[in-house]
């Protein structure tokens, strides 16, 4: 049996009932906490917690103990949308952006996703694993304790499989949950530029069967956007994924309105992600559905595109999650602390709403909220201990500065 006792916690925050799997509406603003607390981890799980005044006698003498020294303890971030497997950064496009080129201009000039695909096709599985491991390690040190990772820079049978195998290896190597999404429908490769049907057939007839047979993906993703995959193409791909038991998690309403959110909802997507262009039709279709709206404010920040209408979504009773979108083109950062700050500063979310969106609702967007995303007995002891802070709002307020002092995963201090 392994055990760890955390004491002198100024506030143990994010305590939700074990059967609370996601939050919406006014409940998103509630982040129940216990002041002056202790928490016991046993066999990787949260075994018990309470106030220091009532700490059971005997615990302190018998269990290895770490003092939070007046810091806060929160559940680890759950980053439900990333593309951390890629071959190379694209900082040359960063300079083009500064010179006034748009995301669409850069893609049309042979940059963008196809640029990453060319580089990934010549990288080895080991090289991809090494560079993605370094990114994931940094993300964990910044508080991330569960992550979703997409393929989508392969765009050929072999390279998509290569990416998904790297994701599988990351899952087997790191002490955090890793979910995987199949995103061959990220862009049409050059050779299929004028043969969309050919590429869609390749995905449906060749890639999906092999991926399903090897059990390499949990979700089906499509970049449903003008100039990428149409609503009709997206529908066909989601139907095909469903036949192999892959529920949708899709890129929707990032750059324009084309009915992507509605298409995701119609296919009972676990989440529709981006929503920078949050039109009323998108909000209407999400209200009353089971689909989570995952917002990616650091993508808006980096691309200088609109920020999603988080308030409209929350007021309509839609569960909102936030995630990084870490990728070399639109969001070269995997820092959930910055995402939480931007959620407050730019999405006008209250600190408690932003933290719930980055924890329990992020977990729900990976169908993991029965295991992670809140403080509850029996959940994984994936936690962060902060420096002493005057209040919870200080965490997003002090943007760009990490308040995380100790990361605990499966009840153990993570030291890499």
> Where does this chain bind ligand NIG (CB under 6 A)?
112-113, 116, 223, 251, 254, 299, 325, 327-330
Residue 210 annotated as part of some ligand binding site: no
Q: Which does 329 bind (CB under 5 to 8 A by kind): ligand NIG, Fe ion, none?
A: ligand NIG
Q: Which is nearer to ligand NIG, 11 or 80 (CB)?
A: 80
Q: Which is nearer to ligand NIG, 187 or 376 (CB)?
A: 187
Residue 196 annotated as part of some ligand binding site: no
Residues near Fe ion, by CB under 5 A: 325
Q: Which does 254 bind (CB under 5 to 8 A by kind): Fe ion, ligand NIG, none?
A: ligand NIG
If you count DSSP H runs as helices and E runs as strands, how many of each does the chain have, helices first? Answer: 17, 16
Closest distance between Fe ion and the C-beta of residue 280, in Å?
A: 24
Sequence-distant (6+) residues with CB within 8 A of 79 are: 139, 144, 146, 147, 148, 323, 324, 326, 334, 336, 358, 362
Residue 67 annotated as part of some ligand binding site: no
Confirm if 3 and 411 have CB atoms less than 8 A apart.
yes
Q: Which is nearer to Fe ion, 21 or 183 (CB)?
A: 183
Residue nearest to ligand NIG (CB): 329
Question: Which tokens belong to 35?
Answer: 């002041």
Closest distance between ligand NIG and the C-beta of residue 82, in Å?
A: 9
Distance CA 20, CA 308 (A): 25
Q: Which does 156 bind (CB under 5 to 8 A by kind): ligand NIG, Fe ion, none?
A: none
Pick from 350, 344, 413: which is nearest to 385 by CA?
413
Sequence-distant (6+) residues with CB within 8 A of 53 are: 36
Q: How far apart are the first and last CA of the chain?
A: 22
Element (H, E) at 184: strand 177-185
Q: Which is nearer to ligand NIG, 129 or 302 (CB)?
A: 302
User: Given the DSSP bridges, would you call strands 144-150 and 412-413 parallel, antiparallel or unpaired?
Assistant: unpaired
Closest distance between Fe ion and the C-beta of residue 413, in Å?
A: 31
Q: Which is nearer to ligand NIG, 113 or 340 (CB)?
A: 113
Q: What's the order of all strands across the beta sheet hosting 271-274? A: 77-79, 144-150, 177-185, 219-224, 249-252, 271-274, 292-295, 320-322
Annotated binding site for Fe(3+): 81, 83, 251, 325
Annotated binding site: 81, 83, 90, 153, 186, 251, 254, 325, 327, 329-330
Annotated binding site for Zn(2+): 81, 83, 251, 325
């Amino acid at each position: 049996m392994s055990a760890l006792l955390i004491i002198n916690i100024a506030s143990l925050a994010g305590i939700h009932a074990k059967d609370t799997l996601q939050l919406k509406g006014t409940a998103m603003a509630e982040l129940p906490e216990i002041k002056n607390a202790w928490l016991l981890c046993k066999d990787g799980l949260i075994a018990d917690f309470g106030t220091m005044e009532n700490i059971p006698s005997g615990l302190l003498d018998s269990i290895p103990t770490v003092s939070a020294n007046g810091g806060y303890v929160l559940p680890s971030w759950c980053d439900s949308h990333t593309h951390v497997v890629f071959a190379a950064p694209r900082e040359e496009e960063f300079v083009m952006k500064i010179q006034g080129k748009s995301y669409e201009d850069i893609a049309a000039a042979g940059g963008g996703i196809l640029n990453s695909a060319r580089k990934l096709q010549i990288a080895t599985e080991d090289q991809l694993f090494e560079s993605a491991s370094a990114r994931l390690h940094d993300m964990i040190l910044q508080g991330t304790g569960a992550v979703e990772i997409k393929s989508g820079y392969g765009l050929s049978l072999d390279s998509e499989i290569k990416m998904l195998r790297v994701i599988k290896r990351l899952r087997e190597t790191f002490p955090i949950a890793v979910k995987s999404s199949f995103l061959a429908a990220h862009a049409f490769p050059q050779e299929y530029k004028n043969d969309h049907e050919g590429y869609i057939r390749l995905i449906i007839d060749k890639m999906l069967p092999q991926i399903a047979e090897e059990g390499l993906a949990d979700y089906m993703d499509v970049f449903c956007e003008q100039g990428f995959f149409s609503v009709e193409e997206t529908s066909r791909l989601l139907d095909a994924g469903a036949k192999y038991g892959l529920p949708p998690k899709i890129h929707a309403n990032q750059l324009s309105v084309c009915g992507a959110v509605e298409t995701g909802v119609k296919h009972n997507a676990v989440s529709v992600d981006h929503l920078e262009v949050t039109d009323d039709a998108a909000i209407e279709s999400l209200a009353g559905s089971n689909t989570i709206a995952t917002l990616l404010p650091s993508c808006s920040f980096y691309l200088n595109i609109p920020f999603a209408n988080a308030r409209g979504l929350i007021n309509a009773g839609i569960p909102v999650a936030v995630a990084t979108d870490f990728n070399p083109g639109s969001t070269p950062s995997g820092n959930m602390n910055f995402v939480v700050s931007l959620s407050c500063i730019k999405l006008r979310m209250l600190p408690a709403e932003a933290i719930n969106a980055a924890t329990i609702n992020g977990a729900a967007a990976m169908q993991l909220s029965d295991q992670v995303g809140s403080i509850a007995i029996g959940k994984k002891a994936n936690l962060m201990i902060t420096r002493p802070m005057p209040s919870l709002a200080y965490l997003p307020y002090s943007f760009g500065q990490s308040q995380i002092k100790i990361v605990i995963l499966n009840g153990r201090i993570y030291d890499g």
